[in-house]
Amino acid sequence: MEIEFRSLSKQFEDHKDVLLPMDFAGDVHALAVIGPSGGGKSTLLRILGGLIAPTAGQVWIGGEKVCYEGAAVEAHRKKIGYVFQLGGLFKHMSAIDNIVTPLIRVHGFSKEQARARADELLGRFGLLTEANKKPAALSGGQQQRVAIARAISAKPKLLLLDEPTSALDPEYTTEVLGIIRELKEERLDFVIVTHEMGFARHACEKVLFLAEGQLLEYGDSDTIFQQPATYKLRSFLGKLLEWNI
């Protein structure tokens, strides 16, 4: 999936620059966005997903220019799967309704088709027995698996994952990352914002490093981790690896 953005920047209402003007073009299959907190990673992902509009610049995904207004942005969101940190499931709906409702209302599935697709995904992720539970009755790992099932249910052209494991215990983190790796093997293109450096290095082909709103490095994951070119990336990786066993 070709992703390209030119002169992309984002400034919030308090005039704080979250993203400084940046350019990028790359064929993304499994891309990890890494960097210190507050560096603009989630903002970049939300712009790609059409959830917020950039202050300036243009974005192309798969050769199509993303328009951030009206029906065009709604059409764009339909083609993207999005997984949030935690709490992205609709709290008043059961796990299965979280998947079925958008399939019927947004993607035009019939009830039977939507139910069959939801059953297929819940079964695959080991959640069939939890299908009728509300999110609050599911563990963090189960919630994220349902969120991933919902995000991929309509076969999106690109999956965006915003720190999907940062609120999870280590055992649930492994479980969720395992699923994302499986999806990669099925050739589902994704961009993941993550603090799991092991996953970024070994499961993602490319890594993009963002710090203080600037796109500082992009390249093959091995190169990024073995030969960081900027001081900021070296310092960031150094801090993360300080307590590695």
Partner 1 sequence: MLIGFVWLSLTKAGVPLDFSFLKDFSKRLGDGFWLTVALSLASLACSLLIGVACAAGQSAKILPLRYLCNIYVGLIRGTPLIMQIYLFFYIVGTAWGIENRFAAGVIILSVFEGAYITEIIRGSLLSIEAAQIEAAKAVGFTGRQTVRYVVLPQMVARTLPALTGQFASIIKDSSLLSIIAVTELTQTIREISATNFRLFECYFTLGVLYLCLTLPISFVSKWLERRYDYGN
Helical spans, DSSP H, in the chain: 41-48, 70-78, 95-105, 111-124, 140-153, 170-185, 197-202, 221-226, 231-241
Q: Closest separation between CB of residue 28 and partner 1, Å?
A: 19
Q: Which of 189, 185, 207 is nearest to 198 (CA)?
A: 207
Q: Output 82 or 125, the one with its CB closest to partner 1.
A: 82
Amino acid at 203: A
**Is the four-CA dihedral 99, 102, 107, 111 of positive or negative sign?**
positive
Q: Closest separation between CB of residue 198 and partner 1, Å?
A: 27
Q: Output 114 or 197, the one with its CB closest to partner 1.
A: 114
CB atoms within 10 A of CB 229: 13
Q: Closest separation between CB of residue 101 and partner 1, Å?
A: 6
Q: Output 39 or 81, the one with its CB closest to partner 1.
A: 81
Both structure tokens of 167 = 């609120």
Q: Output 5 or 84, the one with its CB closest to partner 1.
A: 84
Q: Closest separation between CB of residue 126 and partner 1, Å?
A: 22
- Which DSSP string do the residues of 45-85 spell out, in sequence order? HHHHTTSS--SEEEEEETTEEP--SHHHHHHHHHTEEEE-S
Amino acid at 38: G
Q: Which residues bind partner 1 (CB under 8 A)?
A: 49-51, 74, 77-78, 80, 82, 84, 87-92, 101-102, 105-107, 134-137, 150
Q: Output 55 or 101, the one with its CB closest to partner 1.
A: 101
Q: Which single residue is written with the structure tokens 């093997």?
A: 185
Q: Closest separation between CB of residue 66 and partner 1, Å?
A: 14
Q: Closest separation between CB of residue 114 and partner 1, Å?
A: 13
Q: Closest separation between CB of residue 239 and partner 1, Å?
A: 29
Q: Which of 179, 233, 172, 241 is nearest to 208 (CA)?
A: 233
d(CA 74, CA 78): 6
Distances (CA, A) of 82 to 5, 100, 214, 238: 19, 16, 23, 30
Q: Output 54 or 88, the one with its CB closest to partner 1.
A: 88
Gyration radius of the chain over CA positions: 18
